[in-house]
Structure 1
Amino acid sequence: MSRQRRSQGCSGQATVELALALPLLMVFLLGAVQLTLVIRGQLAVTHAARAAARAASVSASPTRAAATAARAATSLERLDVRTENGARTVRVTVLARVPTDVPLVGALIGDVTVSATAVMAVES
């Protein structure tokens, strides 16, 4: 027969360890969620720059390029679209702010600015 011994003074140790580790785990999880949202914003800006460059290469209109970028990046609120027309190419740069709405993380890092540039040949 074996007898189980219970050590004195160790009851609740796992609960205390969990209580100490849980806030750190939550901050890590919320940071991962916020990072995912920033990456999503970067992908949206890249898509908007590509679509705006395509529109500008066909029509050579900065207004049309900006409107196309706004339609392409519907998940972002404000876009700053800059176009540069060269002799044979058009360059479009799109900038946007991605808000950090995730609790705790937003207070620590603030909003993130993402940008993308696309260059396409002008079609005549």
Structure 2
Amino acid sequence: MALDLFAGIPVSDYRAALLWYERLLGTPPTFVASDTEAVWELAEHRSLFIEHRPEHAGHALHTVFVDDLDAFVSQASGRGLEPTKRETYPNGVRKALYRDPDGNELDFGGAPL
């Protein structure tokens, strides 16, 4: 069975969120679906989108695993965004937590060093 992932993040200020996610992800959206929705394809069939839905803003929680967590964090830092928190689990898996202006949580995880 083929699977696609389309994970949404509700935001209260679409323009501010668009700029913030462009900085975090290091690229403009893959496509803009409407005046209130932008989509980033993180990998084939795996997309993240923001949508202006102020009544739901601040409640998203997503984790994305990347091949090189240190490189991702370094690149995001170079664009002016620092993780809110970093964690290392007992099994060695590491995570860098980012919060957008609404408080939505987007974590990036990586395998043990």
TM-score bracket for this pair, using the shorter chain length: 0.3 to 0.5
Structure showing the higher helix proportion among its residues: 1
Structure number with bigger Rg: 1
Task: Using structure 1 for the length normalisation, give the TM-score.
Answer: 0.32
